[in-house]
Amino acid sequence: MPEAAFLLGIDERSIARWSRRTPSGKGPLIAPSHDWAFSFHDLLSLAVVAVFRQRGVTPDGIRRTISYLENEFSTPRPLAHKKIVDALHTVGKAVLLRPGIDVTKSGQMTLVETVATYLRPIEYGGDFLARLWKPTRYVALNPKVQAGRPCISGTRVTTDVVASRALHGEPPKVIADDLQITVRQVTAASEFEARLRDGQGLALVA
């Protein structure tokens, strides 16, 4: 949970609220796929939930949205599905599914603003589920590489390892040669991790 909060730039208490059953017995918004460990698809789903909350959508509205999308598209992780994310919009406190169906209230028609614009480039597989998240040019998250931790694109080198060595004073050229990456990638990893430490989540870093 702390790692998910760090990567998304979200308060850990919010992640806890979204991933647990409420005192009144309502189910979690996004339950971890593996006990208390979030999967790659969970992380992406939490990012979309964060967008909804920033836009003022209520937790109950998000529950209705997820339930509707699970049934409509027969998928257990609808917020990590390309066809759904591309079609989702928000307007005011409502979440809409193109061509304008308000899925928080199941019906109302209105103008829309796309949710996808809040997320950095995401690549999807043949099953339309997210397979790669590229928050920056040089950084990618792939669930098949290092358990989905942020890595230098095209490598298994995690950004936190690179940034940690840089913070300890190792010259970029030494780090690059040792890890078989470029100096530009060393700089990019350090900048990426610094922005995460500043509270900029994956959907916000540039």
Helix (H) or strand (E) holding 152: strand 151-152
Per-residue pLDDT at 100: 54
Task: Measure the CA angle with vertex 88, ends 201 and 85; round to 5°.
Answer: 60
Q: Percent of the chain at pLDDT above 70? A: 82
Higher pLDDT, 155 or 103: 155
- pLDDT bin (cut points 50, 70, 90) of residue 163 is very high
Whether a cis peptide bond, with omega within 30° of 0, leads into 99 is yes
**pLDDT mean over 15-40:** 89
Domains of the chain: residue spans and CATH: 120-206 (1.10.10.10)
Higher pLDDT, 155 or 61: 155
- pLDDT bin (cut points 50, 70, 90) of residue 175 is very high
- pLDDT bin (cut points 50, 70, 90) of residue 186 is very high
**Hey, what are 28's tokens?**
């979690």
Asked whether the CA dihedral 100, 106, 107, 108 is positive or negative, the reply is: negative
Higher pLDDT, 146 or 97: 146
- pLDDT bin (cut points 50, 70, 90) of residue 94 is low
State how far the Cα of 157 lies from the Cα of 44, in Å rounded to an integer. Answer: 21
- pLDDT bin (cut points 50, 70, 90) of residue 54 is confident
Distance of CA 143 to the CA centre of its chain: 12
**pLDDT mean over 53-81:** 85
In which residue are the tokens 């992640």 written? Answer: 15
Mean pLDDT of the chain: 83
Residue 92: other Cβ atoms inside 10 A: 13
User: In this structure, what DSSP letter does residue 9 have?
Assistant: T
Q: Does the pTM of the predicted model rise above 0.85? A: no
**Hey, what are 9's tokens?**
């730039």
